Each structure stands twice: as C-alpha cells, then as structure tokens.
Structure 1
Amino acid sequence: MRFDSVPMPPAVGARPRDTRGYPVPAITPWEDGEPQFARTDFGRSADCARRRLCSVCNALLAPGPVWRVVGAEESAAIAGALAAGRPYRNLAPTLEAPGHRACMLYASMVCPYLARPDARRGLTADAADGLTAHVVRGAARGGQGAVVGFGGFEYAVTADRVLFRFLDVVEFLPHEAADTHLDELRAELARTGPGQPR
C-alpha cells in the first residue's frame, strides 16, 4: 500500500516532509537537511516524555491511554501474556516514546519497516546506547507486529537518552501487514474529527 493512499491524521499532515513526501515524526533528528529515520533525537524525545507529547505529531496526549507500534518479539510476548491471562509489562526499557492511537495506526502503515514482515531497515541506528544494536541496515522486522494501547507509561531522562516503560495493555492490534489497520484508522479519524488528536 502506498503511503500517500493512507488517510493522514491532521496533526501529522502539519509535520515537515522528506524529499519523498513522507511526514517526519517529531522525535526524528535532522542532519544536513535530511531526516534520520533510524535515529531518535534526545531532546525531542525528552520533550515528549516530560510534556506528554505524541512522538509522531508532537501534539499533546490527553490523559489516559497511549499507543506505540511494537515489533515481532514484543508482539509475541504481549500475545502470550494475554492468552495466558497474565498482565504484561515491558521490563526492558525502550527508546520509543508513545503517541496517539491515530498517529500510531498511521505510522504502522506508512513506515515500510513497521508495515511488512519482509521489509528491511534502510539505515543503521546509533548502537552506542546498547538498546538499538539490533537496528542495523538490512535487518527484517519479521513475524507479527502490533499497535498496542497502554494504560500509561513511565520514563527516565538520563544524561544521553530517554527510556520508556509501558504499563497495562488496554488494546492489542496485531498485524502481519499493517494495512489490515486501515478501517481502524479511518474509524479513529472519524471519531476524533478534524480537531486536536486524542
């Protein structure tokens, strides 16, 4: 599915674009006028945590649940916990900040790496933090991804990174190919309307 055929949340539509027309998420750093999609900007990520801003559109997150897109390993862990009737909490911190439901549904479909299990990473992330050593050029997402809603999150801002932990799964939307979320995205955009995302 082409990224420009996916309905775009209004706040995402206000984001800067790369040369292909892709909107650039709020936490993506720029270098020499080009967005670095495989990397996370420390200051922007810290702002998202401290001010409760969406990591995609940079608008305020309302009190209550937050969402994020997870890869195959975490998706499998959540599915296993839910199937066993156990609570899930990611004990290993992540660098990935939360966002609005519509923004994360959108991101799951337009980011080639998140959208398909056979998609490959185009760039290698900074591996010095120890949390992204697996994010290397050519790596495939593999398996089943998911858009997941959480009741809340915790964060810690250190000298060189922002760490997140997510609590209480409130929604689990797994996917092989993320275009299966198209109807969910359309319904969410209709529910929230053209104003501020929720």
Structure 2
Amino acid sequence: MRFDSVPMPQAVQARPRDTRGYPVPAITPWTGEEPQFALTDYGRSADCARGRLCSVCNVLMPKGPVWRVVGATESAAIAEALAEGRPYRNMAPTLEGPGHRACMLYASMVCPYLARPNARRGLSADGSSELTAHVVRGAARGGTGAVVGFADYEFGITASQVLFRFLDVVEFLPHAAADEHLAELEAELAQRQPR
C-alpha cells in the first residue's frame, strides 16, 4: 500500500514533509533539509516525554492509554505473555516514545520498515548506544510487528538519551503487514482525531 493512500490523522497533516511527501515525526532530527528517520532527536524526544506530547504529531496526549509500534521480538513477547495470562511490562527501556492510537496506526502503515516483515532499514542509527546498535542499514524487521496500547508510560532523561518504559498492555494489534490495520485506522479517524 502506498503511503499517500493511507488516511492521515489531522494532526499529522500539519507535520513537515520530506522530499517524497512523507510526514516527518516530531522526534525525528534534521540534517539541513533532510530528516534522519533512523535517528531520534534528544531535545524533541525530551520535550515530548515531559509534555506528554505524541512522538509522531507533537500534540498533547490526554490522560489514559498511549500507543507505540513494536517490532517482532517485543511483539512475540507480548503475545506470549497475553496467551499465558501473564502481565507484560517491558523492563528494557526504549528510545521510542508513545503516541496517539491513530498516529501509531498510521505510522505502522506508512513507515516502510514498520509496515512489512521483509522491509529493510534504509539508514543506520549512530550506534553509540546499546539501544541503537541493532539499527543498521539493511536489517530486516522480520516477524510480526504490532501496534500496542499501554495504560501509561514512564520516562527517564539522561545526559544523552530519553528512555521510555510502558506499563500494562490494554490493546494488542499484531500484524504481518501493517495494512491489516487499515480498517482500525479508518474507524479511529471517523470516531475522533487524535486519540
């Protein structure tokens, strides 16, 4: 599915675009006129964490659940915990902040890396952290990804990173290919923007 055929949340429509027309998430750093999609901007991420702003659209997230897109490893761990009736809490922090449900459904569908299991990363992260060492050009997403709702999040801001942990799964939407979420996104957008 082409990114420009995916219904866009209203708040994402206001985001700056790259030369191809992709909206640039709030936490994405820029080098000159080019967004660096494989990287996370420290200051922007810290602002989003402190202000409870969506990491995609930069609009306030109301109290209550937050969402994020997870890769194959975390998706499998969540699925296993839920199948066994166990709670899931990611004890390992992540650099990826939360967002609105509509924004994360949208991001899962338009980001080439998140959307398909055979997609490969186009860029490498800086590799200066254990958390980003696996973010290398050519790496495949693999397996089943998911859009996951959590009751809340917590964060820590160090001298060089903003770290997130997510609490209590409230929704688990796995996908092989993220276009499986099209009906969910359309329903969410019809209901209200953003959530």
One fold, TM greater than 0.5? yes
Unaligned runs of 5+ in 2: none
Q: For the residues of structure 2 that align with 1:39 and 1:2, how far apart are their CA atoms?
A: 23
Does the residue aligned with 2:147 lie in a helix, a strand or coil? Answer: strand
Residue 132 of structure 1 is matched in structure 2 by 132
Distance 2:69 2:191 in 1: 20
- Given the two structures, how large is their TM-score scaled by the length of structure 1? 0.98
Residue of structure 2 equivalent to 1:92: 92
| Superposed displacement of residue 130, structure 1 | 1.4
4+ residue stretches of structure 1 with deviation over 6 A?
Answer: none
For residue 41 of structure 1, what is the amino acid of its counterpart? D
Write out aligned runs for 1:30-49 (5 A).
30-49=30-49
1:3-53 alpha-carbon deviations (Å, 9 max, x no partner): 000000010000000000000000000002100000000000000100000
Measured in 2, the distance between the counterparts of 1:90 and 1:138 equals 26
Taking the aligned partners of 2:47 and 2:188, their CA distance within structure 1 comes to: 25
Partner of 2:115: 115
Once the two structures are superposed, residues 77-104 of structure 1 have per-residue CA deviations (whole angstroms, 9 ceiling, x without a partner) of: 0000000000000000000000000000
1:127 CA drift (Å): 1.1
Q: Please give the alpha-carbon distance, in whole angstroms, between the structure 2 residues aligned to 1:59 and 1:52.
A: 8
**Corresponding residue of 1:150:** 150
Does 1:59 pair with 2:55? no
Structure 1 match to 2:72: 72
Q: Which residue of 2 aligns with 1:170?
A: 170
State the AA in 2 paired with 1:123: L
| Identical amino acids, percent of aligned pairs | 80
Q: Secondary structure at the match of 2:184?
A: helix
Shift of 1:129: 1.7
Report the AA paired with residue 34 of structure 2.
Answer: E
Alignment TM-score, normalising by the size of structure 2: 0.99
Question: For 1:126, what is the secondary structure of its paired residue?
Answer: coil
- Distance in 1, Cα, partners of 2:180 & 2:169: 20
Give the aligned length.
195
Q: Residue 149 of structure 1: CA displacement?
A: 0.1
Aligned mates of 2:131, 2:58 — CA distance in 1: 23
Gaps of 5+ in 1: none
Q: Which amino acid aligns with 2:120?
A: R
Residue 81 of structure 2 is matched in structure 1 by: 81
Q: CA deviation at 1:126?
A: 1.5
Question: In the TM superposition, what is the alpha-carbon distance from 1:63 to its structure 2 partner?
Answer: 0.3
Secondary structure of 1:173's aligned partner: strand
SS at match of 1:164: strand
- Which residue identity lines up with residue 11 of structure 1 in the other structure? A
